[in-house]
């Protein structure tokens, strides 16, 4: 049984007219890395600051290790926050920065020296310990901010987009380092980011937020494979998911998606799916991830279409295919696939990988469960 | 753009009026003062200064052996030390207490800085009236503590109470000065740093000592030095409230020099004392500038 | 725990409250005293039982009331010092701001050398005026400038011009230089750029510098005391004579303090945001 380290219950926070956090609840287990993921401005930082005690929620409670800490000031919560802007103390040496928390707690001098050295070692800061913190580089500042928190051994470590200021290469290594540290030290960590890739790489579980609301909590896999709504589906995954909307109707023995006079034959795509009967006649959005689409140059598959455009993405190609007027999808393909614009290709899609959403509410419609019901 | 040579017209506009003003009104008299300090000249003597005899360093020598000058100097320094210390501590405390938002804060600040805008003569008048035998300090405040005896306290007739009344006037008027500087300094400390310290477990007291104070240190130096130099000039309060008395017991340097020049007409001697004071001030100012601006830059 | 915080918070408001009282009580005393008839000058309460305007009237028409109030000395009416203060402060301010504006522009855009480094600024401000009393008196006596408005105006503007330069330089520095460059590319002469482009943009700065310097001029006592006698007496000099020499005319003295406060307090609150900047020569931004 996993132990709950943090429980956030129905927290709401307004800034004037703005609902920054809207009735958010979740639990974080001991020792896990939990990520708050969402576009900028969605209330991640505010949530984190409420957990740290720097902001008071208008409604709701926060529990740490079972204790209600909603009215406890930050310094008595034993959680530590690594700020997005790092906020190192510019007038102190790196050593004094890292030692700050222990000194504030009046720990004995030898213990402080030992712990600071350990942490500095761990983070590769030993050589700059006696430098003024205002004189070191961005990557060091980031590690100081982290080390300053590690040294006080907080119950929960909160990180607010710690890598956004770093450049791509450092970001890569820092991600790996963070993961290693978290494993080694077994810290409970809440990580905030707007970068879904980073979230997928680092997290045990992810909470996706938008406009102050918590949309879905789950493992990276769950979130990727079973996005609870359109926003999550769209936000997770790169390149973004293909979305095709319309009313699903049966016409002349065929299943077609209808939208403003345009129709798309979806017979081959949905025929086999169980429970499809329940969505016939409804306005839906079909989501298919580009990586779930195979291109068949010989023209077989669910649909046929014309290759319009290529984009290079890492070691793969993103192929834009026009299925019909106004209906285009993107598919991933290896470089080895010899394609030219204008080619007519088939696209093959595993029906299991098709996501269906209600067009009005954006909520996921699970064909299987509906079918069973 | 700053290092480009200025066009002729700009050069003339920027330099000519300024230099004309400064030379005509400040620099020439200043040179004159240096000359005067080496003369034996009293305008009551019936001849103009350019006919007066040069007497070398005699005036300076006299000043350094003039106990009234030296004690006015010492008194002024004591005055500066006392008022600046109290004003600094009070101003800093107030600035810290007013840092957080609360309803009515704007009004509170507006009230606190009120004395700063008054002419010192007005402040002197206010406290001259406050400290009269039947003024509210005796008649209302002290009488409620020590009874009718309070009415027998003659503030301006005793050296110690007269000096205290000056100090109170100064503190009343100039604590807001320190407050304003400290307030803007403390407000400028990034909120993130304070929050980082809170999250690391530091108490408000610890944060104040380890984060806020060190970060505003340069401004503390500026505030204290500016206030000290300003307080050193003290003239208005003394002139109006105590007249330097009783006797010469509250006479400050400015008042003494004024008297020597205006009441005793000893222009040369007043000039010599002025130069000595000037030298002191220049040294202090110079050290201050070196400390705040030149030592590694700010 | 919770109680501790309540105690700390209340203590904070108590300290603030006490300080506010400390500021307000003397002010309240002066205001009420100014409206008290002379029977109430020595009483132990604030609100006058028989409020009167006599204290103000006597300031303007001393010959009428001095007998009634038991004063012995005859004082001049406050009218002339008031007008003198307005004229001298205003003209000295205008002069300092104009001269300061040109120099500030040169310093901001071209680094024209001028004797207004930090050291000089501090000196003109920090030297006790008393140390400058002797030479300026002798100098003015020889030039026939004693007891003239011109003499005071020249002196006031020269000791405040460095303020004007520092405050205005801050404002000019904040104006993007591109506008001037654009005007120059269109063939405008440097002086035309100065007057047509920079001057309108720096108007708020001129107002702030002007008001601040006016405040300094209005409150100056020592120079005016030494350099004026009958003709050019300013308000602070008048106050110092009234309070020092006339004895215990408490009511009129309080009324005079009020009259002397109105202008500077009004100005002070107008430029409240910039007071710090002004008092510290721009070393501290408000
Ligand atoms: N102190 C504040 N005052 C007013 N609005 C704020 C404040 N802090 C955050 N907000 C607003 O609340 C919303 C959520 O902000 P934030 O939690 O910082 O989002 P995120 O970290 O996800 O980018 C944003 O629209 C932001 O502008
Ligand atoms: Mg954020």
Contacts of residue A89 in chain B, CB cutoff 8 Å? 193, 196-197, 211
Query: From the CA of B152, how many Å to the nearest CA of chain C?
Result: 14
Nearest to B154 by CA among B242, B237, B83: B242
Parallel, antiparallel, or unpaired for β A303-313 and A344-349?
antiparallel
Strand partners, B50: none
Q: Whose CA is nearest to atom 24 of ligand 1?
A: A41
Tens of pLDDT along chain A (373 residues) come to 688 999 999 999 999 999 999 999 999 999 899 999 999 999 999 999 999 999 999 999 999 998 999 999 999 999 999 998 888 999 999 999 999 999 999 999 999 999 999 899 888 889 999 999 999 988 888 889 999 999 998 999 999 988 776 677 777 777 888 888 888 888 899 999 999 888 998 899 999 999 999 999 999 999 999 999 999 999 998 888 999 888 888 887 788 888 777 777 777 777 777 777 778 888 889 899 998 888 888 878 888 888 888 888 878 888 898 887 778 889 888 888 778 888 888 888 887 888 889 888 888 888 765 444 3
Rounded to two decimals, the pTM is 0.86
In the sheet where A344-349 sits, what is the strand order? A293-296, A344-349, A303-313, A316-324, A327-334
The 3 state secondary structure assigned to A304-334 is EEEEEEEEEECCEEEEEEEEECCEEEEEEEE
Give the pLDDT score at A369: 54
**pLDDT, tens only, A117-136:** 989 988 888 999 999 999 99
For a mutational test of ligand 1's pocket, the pick from A15, A16, A24, A85, i.e. the residue with the most ligand atoms closer than 8 A to its C-beta, is: A15
| Cβ of A41 below 6 Å from ligand 1 | yes
**pLDDT, tens only, B131-161:** 988 888 888 888 888 888 878 888 899 999 9
Domains identified in chain B and CATH numbers: 66-294 (1.10.3720.10)
Q: Phi first, then psi: what are they for C137, rounded to 5°?
A: -65, -50
The 3 state secondary structure assigned to chain C is CHHHHHHHHHHHHHHHHHHHHHHHHHHHHHHHHHCCCHHHCCCCCCCCCCCCCHHHHHHHCHHHHHHHHCCCCCCCCCHHHHHHHHHHHHHHHHHHHHHHHHHHHHHHHHCCCCCCCHHHHHHHHHCCCHHHHHHHHHHHHHHCCCCCHHHHHHHHHHHHHHHHHHHHHHHHHCCCCHHHHHHHHCCCCHHHHHHHHHHHHCHHHHHHHHHHHHHHHHHCCHHHHHHCCCCCCCHHHHHHHHHHHCCCCHHHHHHHHHHHHHHHHHHHHHCHHHHHHHHCCCCCCC
Q: CA-to-CA distance for A357 and A243, rounded, in angstroms?
A: 10
* Contacting partners of chain B (3+ CB pairs under 8 A): A, C
C22–B14 C-beta distance less than 8 A:
no
Contacts of residue C141 in chain B, CB cutoff 8 Å? 43
Q: Whose CA is nearest to atom 27 of ligand 1?
A: A41
8 Å CB contact between C262 and C111: no
C30–B126 C-beta distance less than 8 A:
yes
Domains identified in chain A and CATH numbers: 4-235 (3.40.50.300), 242-370 (2.40.50.140)
Query: From the CA of B219, how many Å to the nearest CA of chain A?
Result: 14
Q: Does domain C79-241 have CATH number 3.30.750.24?
A: no
Q: Closest-lying ligand to the alpha carbon of A36?
A: 1
B190–A81 C-beta distance less than 8 A:
no
Q: Give me the residue spans of the domains in chain C.
A: 1-75+243-265, 79-241
What number of helices (H) and strands (E) belong to chain A?
Answer: 10, 20
Within 8 A by CB and 6+ apart from C251, the residues are C33, C34, C36, C37, C38, C41, C54, C55, C69
- Distance in Å from the first CA to the final CA of chain C: 37
């Amino acid at each position: 049984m996993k132990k709950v380290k943090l429980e956030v219950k129905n927290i709401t926070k307004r800034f004037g007219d703005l609902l920054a956090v809207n009735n958010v609840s979740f639990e974080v287990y001991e020792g896990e890395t939990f990520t708050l993921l969402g576009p900028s401005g969605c209330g991640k930082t505010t949530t984190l600051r409420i957990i740290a005690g720097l902001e008071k929620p208008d409604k709701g409670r926060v529990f740490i290790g079972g204790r209600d800490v909603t009215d406890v000031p930050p310094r008595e919560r034993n959680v530590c926050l690594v700020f997005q802007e790092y906020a190192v103390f510019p007038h102190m040496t790196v050593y004094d920065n890292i030692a700050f928390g222990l000194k504030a707690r009046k720990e004995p001098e030898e213990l402080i020296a030992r712990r600071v050295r350990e942490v500095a070692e761990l983070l590769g800061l030993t050589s700059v310990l006696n430098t003024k913190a205002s004189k070191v580089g961005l990557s060091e500042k980031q590690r100081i901010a982290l080390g300053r928190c590690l040294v006080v051994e907080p119950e929960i470590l909160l990180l607010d987009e710690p890598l956004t200021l770093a450049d791509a290469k450092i970001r890569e290594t820092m991600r790996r380092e963070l993961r290693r540290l978290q494993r080694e030290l077994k810290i409970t960590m809440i990580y905030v980011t707007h970068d879904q890739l980073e979230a997928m790489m680092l997290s045990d579980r992810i909470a996706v937020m938008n406009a102050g609301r918590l949309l879905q909590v789950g493992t990276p896999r769950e979130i990727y494979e079973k996005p609870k709504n359109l926003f999550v589906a769209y936000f997770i995954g790169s390149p973004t998911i293909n979305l095709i909307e319309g009313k699903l109707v049966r016409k002349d023995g065929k299943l077609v998606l209808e939208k403003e006079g345009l129709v798309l034959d979806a017979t081959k795509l949905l025929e086999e799916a169980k429970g499809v009967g329940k969505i016939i006649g409804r306005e839906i959005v079909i989501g298919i991830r580009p990586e779930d689409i195979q291109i068949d140059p010989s023209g077989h598959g669910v649909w046929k279409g014309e290759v319009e455009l290529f984009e290079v993405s890492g070691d793969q190609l993103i192929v834009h295919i026009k299925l019909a007027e106004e209906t285009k999808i993107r598919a991933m393909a290896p470089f080895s696939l010899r394609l030219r614009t204008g080619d007519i290709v088939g696209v093959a899609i595993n029906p299991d990988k098709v996501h269906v959403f209600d067009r009005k509410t954006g909520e996921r419609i699970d064909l299987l469960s509906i079918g069973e019901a | 753009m700053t290092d480009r040579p200025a066009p002729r017209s700009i050069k003339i506009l920027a330099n000519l009026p300024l230099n004309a003003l400064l030379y005509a009104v400040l620099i020439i008299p200043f040179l004159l003062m240096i000359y005067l300090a080496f003369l034996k000249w009293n305008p009551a003597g019936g001849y103009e200064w350019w006919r007066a005899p040069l007497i070398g360093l005699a005036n300076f020598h006299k000043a350094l052996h003039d106990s009234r000058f030296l004690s006015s100097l010492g008194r002024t320094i004591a005055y500066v030390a006392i008022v600046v210390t109290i004003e600094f501590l009070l101003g800093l405390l107030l600035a810290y207490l007013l840092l957080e938002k609360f309803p009515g804060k704007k009004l509170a600040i507006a009230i606190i800085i009120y004395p700063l805008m008054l002419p010192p003569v007005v402040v002197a008048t206010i406290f001259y009236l406050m400290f009269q035998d039947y003024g509210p300090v005796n008649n209302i405040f002290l009488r409620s503590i020590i009874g009718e005896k309070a009415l027998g306290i003659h503030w301006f007739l005793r050296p110690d109470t007269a000096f205290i009344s000056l100090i109170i006037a100064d503190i009343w008027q100039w604590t807001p000065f320190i407050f304003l500087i400290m307030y803007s300094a403390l407000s400028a400390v990034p909120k993130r740093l304070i929050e980082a310290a809170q999250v690391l477990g530091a108490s408000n007291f610890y944060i104040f000592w380890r984060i806020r104070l060190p970060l505003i240190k340069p401004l503390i130096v500026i505030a204290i030095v500016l206030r000290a130099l300003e307080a050193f000039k003290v003239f208005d309060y003394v002139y109006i409230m105590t007249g330097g008395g009783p006797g010469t017991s509250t006479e400050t340097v400015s008042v003494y020099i004024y008297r020597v020049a205006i009441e005793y007409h000893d222009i040369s001697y007043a000039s010599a004392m002025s130069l000595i004071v000037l030298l002191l001030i220049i040294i202090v100012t110079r050290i201050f500038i070196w400390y705040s601006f030149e030592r590694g830059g700010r | 725990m919770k109680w501790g915080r309540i105690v700390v918070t209340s203590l904070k408001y108590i300290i603030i409250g006490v300080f506010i009282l400390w500021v307000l009580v003397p002010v309240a005393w002066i205001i009420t005293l100014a409206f008290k008839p002379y029977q109430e000058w020595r009483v132990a309460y604030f609100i006058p039982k028989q409020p009167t305007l006599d204290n103000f009237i006597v300031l303007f028409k001393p010959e009428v009331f001095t007998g009634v109030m038991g004063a012995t000395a005859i004082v001049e009416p406050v009218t002339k010092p008031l007008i003198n203060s307005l004229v001298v402060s205003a003209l000295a301010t205008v002069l300092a701001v104009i001269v300061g504006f040109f120099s500030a522009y040169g310093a901001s855009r071209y680094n024209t050398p001028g004797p207004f480094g930090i050291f000089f600024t501090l000196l003109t401000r920090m030297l006790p005026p008393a140390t400058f009393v002797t030479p300026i008196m002798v100098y003015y006596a020889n030039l026939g400038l004693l007891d003239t408005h011109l003499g005071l105006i020249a002196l006031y503007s020269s000791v405040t011009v460095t303020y004007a330069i520092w405050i205005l330089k801050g404002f000019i520095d904040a104006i993007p230089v591109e506008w001037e460059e654009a005007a120059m590319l269109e063939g405008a002469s440097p002086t035309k750029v100065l007057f047509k482009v920079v001057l309108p943009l720096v108007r708020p700065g001129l107002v702030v510098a002007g008001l601040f310097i006016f405040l300094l001029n209005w409150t100056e006592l020592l120079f005016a005391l030494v350099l004026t006698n009958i003709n050019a007496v300013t308000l602070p000099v008048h106050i110092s004579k009234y309070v020092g020499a006339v004895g215990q005319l408490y009511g009129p003295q309080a009324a005079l303090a009020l009259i002397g406060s109105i202008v500077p307090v009004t100005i002070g609150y107008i430029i409240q945001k910039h007071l710090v900047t002004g008092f510290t020569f721009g070393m501290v931004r408000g």
